[in-house]
Amino acid sequence: MNGFISRGFGGHRRVPEELADRLPPGQYVESGFPVLTAGPTPKVDTADWTFRVDGMVGQERKWTWEEFGQLPFEDVPCDIHCVTKWSKLGTTFRGVPVDVLLDAAEPLGSYAVQYSYGGYTTNLPIEDLMDGKAWVVTEHEGEPLPREHGGPARMLVPHLYFWKSAKWVAGLRVMDHDEPGFWEERGYHEYGDPWKEQRYWND
């Protein structure tokens, strides 16, 4: 930018020192839980809800809400980072590790697309869903996940920007190539690592 500086611009918000090493570059600490959704909030009844793993898999799998409830759940304390610059630190979800779901389906491709009720999609390498890095969660802070935050179930991939954690998630499609999802086609970064500030296409 040729050393050009906007006159009088004060720069970023202050970060509490004890939290500095948990906050990726350009982020600020948010105590609330902002809602960001591109369209109307879908209504998904648990009676109609299913979760699928399909695409390039050895065996397509589908769970109803009741079947899903029989899977091994765990608490997931984590920090989440939204590309719009807020981070929520030390928050706890509860859900099923994606490892459990993928293992059941025997994935054969290296990429995955999360797809949601309402049409949202987001893509990522399948290894970012493995080894305890991702969950399908149904609770937040001990309560059923609110609808506006993706209830009854959303993906949780806390090491990537939070648009990579699809709300109202309906399944995972395993693919042999990377295919941009909803925001990835509209200017957001293909991968979205908050520690590398991969927000937009040219980052």
Partner 1 sequence: MERLTPVEQKAPGRWQVATVAAIKPETPQVKSFRLQVPMWMALADGEVSPYFHDVVVEGDQVEVRGPFTSYFVWRGESPVLLVGGGSGVVPLMCMMRHRRLTMPELPMRLVYSVRKADDVIYADELDGDTVLTFTREPPGDWSGHTGHIDADLIAEAGVDSGIGFVCGSNAFVETASQLLLDAGFDPQQIRTERFGPTG
Q: Give the footprint of partner 1 on this chain (CB under 8 A).
A: 1, 4-10, 12-13, 28, 30-42, 84-85, 118-119, 146, 148-149, 183, 185-188, 199-203
> Which residue, 158 or 181, is less far from partner 1 as judged by CB?
181
Nearer to partner 1, 173 or 199 (CB): 199
DSSP 145: P
CB of 106 to partner 1, least distance (A): 31
43 or 62: CB nearest partner 1: 43
Minimal distance, residue 35 CB to partner 1, in Å: 5
Give whole-number Cα distances, 129 to 44, 55, 101, 137, 195, in Å: 24, 15, 10, 13, 18
In whole angstroms, the minimum distance from the beta carbon of 57 to partner 1 comes to 26
The span from the CA of 101 to the CA of 90, in Å, is 26
Which of 29, 142, 135 has its CA nearest to residue 88?
29
Distance CA 157, CA 81 (A): 10
Q: H helices of the chain, where?
A: 65-68, 98-105
**Closest separation between CB of residue 119 and partner 1, Å?**
6
